Amino acid sequence: MSSNRPERALAIPRFVGFPVSDDKAPRSRKAPRFVIDREVPEVTVTTVHHLNCGTFKPLGVQMVTHVLLCETADDGLVLVDTGIGMSDAADPSTLGAAANLLSPDLTTGSSAYCQIRALGLDPADVTNIVATHLDYDHISGASDFPHAMVHLTEVELTAALGAPQPRYRRAHIDALTGGRFKAYAGTCDALLGFSGAYPLAGLDGLWLVPLQGHSAGHAAVAVRIGNRWILHAGDAFFHHSAIGPSAPTHASGRRRTSLLEKLLAADRSRIGTNHRRLSELAASHEHDVQVLCSHDRYLFDQSTTESAP
């Protein structure tokens, strides 16, 4: 297995003014659990599209790669994760042996680039990518948008630049090392009941919400559209039954996806905590929040394009 370590060390920028998380930070006892404890900037996300940018069939369970495409009023197009890019879809062997054990069923037409064109939009307008983490199935497509800035946690970037791990592909990480990223670390603001969230530099209405566990610096991404919220929890859960009732038509895959979630987690001890926090948020009536994840087919099928009023 080839090393994922870039040939030269990189200086990682710290955005002191753009707060980061400390899960142990105390919450205000006076504030309701799901009230936002910070002034929300003017929201610029106008439309959110849901894209499946890579299908896998591990253990006989069909799993999607759920990507958000956000149209904004002033900031072009923003992707939350990228899914599998055109080059890797054309030759899945480039993803490595571990990925191919997950039975990928990929086409170049399922790439974010091709789906953006199919929507009548211009892929060149993708100015920013917000990465839940840097696993190959979440960042492969960044190479299709060479001018886009990638936002992620500093912890995740540091992990990807460290000792080689099958989850990170050197080509994907190297593509980010030319100054194409903003890595966040520092003090966090409270958001949606979480003690820490990073408002993204230059992107009103989007936040990184650290949810470590699946990977060292894994984060959810909160998107505000009108009076509603979408929380893309990445790989913080794999099956919708982890945070709510199970759909009868999708119940059979629950045990197998739970096994896969544990096998792929960097820190299994955090899985249950993340599930509980996300379950509380999904059930909360304080905000209109849609909680989704990267690989659950049912949640993807229930998601529809929506625009701010």
2 vs 299, more confident: 299
Give kind and range of the element (H or E) at residue 108. Answer: none
Mean pLDDT of 253-275: 92
CB 303 within 8 A of CB 296: no
Q: What predicted TM-score, i.e. pTM, was given to this entire model?
A: 0.84
For residue 246, being part of any structural domain is answered with: yes
Q: What b/e string do you get for 95-122 counting C-beta neighbours within 10 Å, with b at 16 or more?
A: bbeebeebbbebeeebbbbbbbeeeebe
Residues 6+ apart with CB under 8 A from 20: 153, 154, 184, 185, 186, 187, 188, 196, 198, 210
For residue 21, being part of any structural domain is answered with: no
Map residue 290 onto helix, strand or coil.
strand
Map residue 42 onto helix, strand or coil.
coil
For residue 4, being part of any structural domain is answered with: no
Residues 6+ apart with CB under 8 A from 172: 134, 136, 139, 140, 142, 143
pLDDT at residue 32, as a whole number:
28
For residue 1, being part of any structural domain is answered with: no
For residue 27, being part of any structural domain is answered with: no
What CATH number is attached to the domain comprising 193?
A: 3.60.15.10
pLDDT, tens digit, for every residue of 125-180?
Answer: 999 999 999 999 999 999 999 999 999 999 999 999 987 888 999 889 888 766 68
Map residue 213 onto helix, strand or coil.
coil
For residue 25, being part of any structural domain is answered with: no
> 149 has which bridge partners?
128
Whether 300 shows a pLDDT value over 90: the answer reads yes
For residue 278, being part of any structural domain is answered with: yes
pLDDT at residue 293, as a whole number:
97
For residue 39, being part of any structural domain is answered with: no
Whether 96 shows a pLDDT value over 90: the answer reads no
d(CA 130, CA 85): 15
Domain encompassing residue 111: 45-304
Domains identified in the chain, total number? 1
